[in-house]
Structure 1
């Protein structure tokens, strides 16, 4: 269960579709577009607000009855603007399509005085569409512009998350046009299906070293393909914010109601009319949309529904050489009298080949079908071979064969794309174990009945292929009972897939932070055991593994670190270096989580308590540690253990990495603390009822409620440790 230490997610496969018939036809694309339908709005309702076409189920005017429901009603401001503008709430709408809307953007900005570094201009960015039928699309990307900046972005409503970006550079010449790789520009994907986001833009040195070419920094969320980074000119452009707000919209997904297609079909609320089908929203939130059937067009929300497309009127919609005959939802090709098409020629050839016309034709059809699927399979094999080489397959084979003592590929299994498709039932939705901003994890069942976790990400940086292959080789050599085993990978898809052993019962993060029945077993003994075992595993990865798993030791990192900022070593922001001591810092954060039950970063906490590490150290310095420990930890942990672990956390979280212990030292210290198993009050005179009296309403110990009887004759408090918790000593003189 506690093997979830390393997580490496890379991508996805390619789906190819083909169609074959015994006549010459083409597949007609779905041309459904509600903004171009013959009937766009309900009778008597306006279809335009300025330059914007407003199709049903949307409608112009609150209370006008022109929309399918109140939440789809738009305001058309005709007096303040020329031409008029359409709004939903305070958000301007630029475009409405079959399943999306493009709306106005907001940009966070901070500008600094060139000499003093003082903030001379600042504004934050947030957007809230909670309670609407809209959610943020995955077409959007979060972007940070600047050379001395980092930012957090949080989202909630439907799906909650916290992510971030880091953008650093020391010279304008280092910035490359068109690349948001963390040098002057950082860009990251966010999950779809959330309805509120907020970003906090920060600087490391208030631009004092870069203000000559980068006086301001910016953070915004918008359609990824609409923004192109212009390099140095963007860093100094005083009109950058206006450019983004006018050219980079935010994309919203929309859906009707809060039911799925299966739940709404057959009810009086079903909105899809004739020749249309129901499509679930696919955003991770409830709701559905209506869509015209293939070969039909129109507005599926208005009677009579979608109408047939006459493909024969448009040569782009058919490939008939001579006669085209329109049919409902499609078309057929035919030849004039006395002329032959491919189908007729096939029959004629079949009649010449065999005495039996039917048998000859059947034989030819079978032969052509086998040839078609053979060519299709060959094409797919070539595509997979291309991906295999592109994703470093030859390098992986070379690396594995060079490992001492390895005479086969058994140590690193290279799975085929077909194997993983079968294992996941072609990546079925019911096989999804979890989703994140960077990809999806599926549950797979291999032919030998082993259950595995298959990680499939959305993207892969081609410049990182060599590093990826090196890490795969290293991870497959790791053999530790507390480290999740990487079984192998698949390189035959557009971006690699990783196959891990399946770990049941969720992650440690879920057990700590998702309140419920699953947390009841998290006793102090179990928390301390988990901490000790994980520390041992990390120590093993640093030093004892066959190939030490120290990927970034003293390595300069110039690209975005893909990780959660709450765990990231703050020294990285100053040095751009990640070392083994960076892992020590991250582990210190996990230890603080185990003791407090609090998340590393929580935007719902007050400003001073938002970051757990700062919060934890501050309370230790003020001798208030027990006020943030989880009540169960206080009740069950011995004084020696609580003091020891808290002091260890403090050392792990030192800003200077040289002052932190090694992972080996951390593991040894935690194992030693496990020996203190006596009851927390066994060495003290405070009785159970007195202990209960020390608890405040939240269940935490209030150390300022220590009774006067706990002081000795000189006024000192027994059990006090400098910078640590205060607690009365046993047999305090009265």
Structure 2
């Protein structure tokens, strides 16, 4: 349950987000200013609006409506009837005009690397010395990309550079601040009247082309640009799309001023621009010039004759502090009290005190106390009601977000086994994992964390919790639930149920205590038990299980991600196949299905990768890589003595073809029967054949492995252990090969 302080902070956060969003939108379109308030904002007979842009004097639409030609605004009408305002001399689109600033359209430079020769387009903007405009310090120079250096050049050899770099999508996955990972920003000085951009790249994007083709450099209002991460670097993100986003949301802010004289100098001239009831303000850009502002108590356009009008503070109670009587004066007001009352009549003072006043302190105190108690009781009751409703709505939202409706649909269609899946509550799993404590973590992966949990019925389970969930992962989650509930096999990790009430879906599996085969092969957990006989037994168990999935399940199942990390080892060193998130059900009347390529580098069937046609032979190839791992002790992708990265499948086949099998065998196996090892190597080679139709089926692989096991004289690992240990040792379950139906 959320603490009341947390509720207040959360409410404040959402209010701030709304205020900032509305403020940015108002800034882009038509920023509020004192020169746009009042009855008259333009010279008599001159247009006031161009589209949604108010054009106040000293600016003007058309000749004779502006202070001088530098302030003239053109208003063009497009075919669809919309209007756009332009600075006449510089042909720059105007989004809004305020007391000291203009917001105008943003342009940018770019450099793209999707061909042998980079394409690029740079940008430059220059205002003349007599121009009233200069680039505001509210702007920042921004560079977006992953292998880019951008610089902004100005007069007097002014230059600022910005360097961006990132090596993977994860560096910029969620965007954020422009601190050099995908985006950087530099402040510019005040008074800049000219700039141009240049761009270059260290490696021409060769390391990042898969997710970033182009780099961008532009000048724009810092508060309006928010780096979004990958959406701003996408591999199909064109120059035009990025420009449309900048044009719609990120303006350039221009400072403006009258002439280049100070207020003291301008007061002596006949063309002094400030009218009656206004004051002169020196420009702070360092270029000279001034602006005008209505005096306190006045509003309107200080550049027009009689443009600054008195504000009647007494007409609006919110603009004065009087309790009883308010009297308006030019530029101000004063408060007073009726006859018989004393004091100044101001709410900020002692207000108006009636004669012979005796304040009812007792009644006042009782009223305040009772009112406070009622307020506390009401707020507390309202808090619990709202919090309960939020909890229910939150669970409903997460249920739908995590695929609950899809799972219900699968259940209503009576797919085999789905109705038996237990739906755990969020509270059950939170209790089972001691609120997901760090000491309950069994392992971490790229997509989530696996926790050890103890249910109320004392069962020990493994709880898989994703880090983040998108639509594709929801599909994988539902797919894994449906697949696992249709499998009843001792060598497949059992699924107990799932939870859909949390922010991310959770899966609850049986607990397998000894990690995965990858850790044992590569000695991360110590692999003293991995003798030749035990490696052969593990291989046979996996092969028998995959053959069962391909031929014996109610609907054939292709695992699609067979690898040593997905083979778990229990406390009696029996193999269990896990992670069916990428698996596919294959209708009985089909032998292949076109699908999105999923799998793990080093284990992925090259024919499947090339054609997107998934068949059971894709699992055969991946299993062949696992067998090569068992024989060599090498990883699927490894580096040789010369630090050159190699693919184990290609390396193994090449070694067998060149009669170099003995040199690549794991040290533990080099004293075993070479004839058996060669037969195993030939089986691996056949599993790794380029064409799927030439590879054996998993049933044929399982039969051959069982034959090799009989040659060793040991039918199972536990039979060997029973000769040395107590007879109470559990017996490893192995599916008989004759239980697998023919194809």
TM (norm. structure 1) is: 0.47
Q: Which has the higher contact order (CA 8 A, sep 6+)?
A: 1
TM (norm. structure 2) is: 0.46
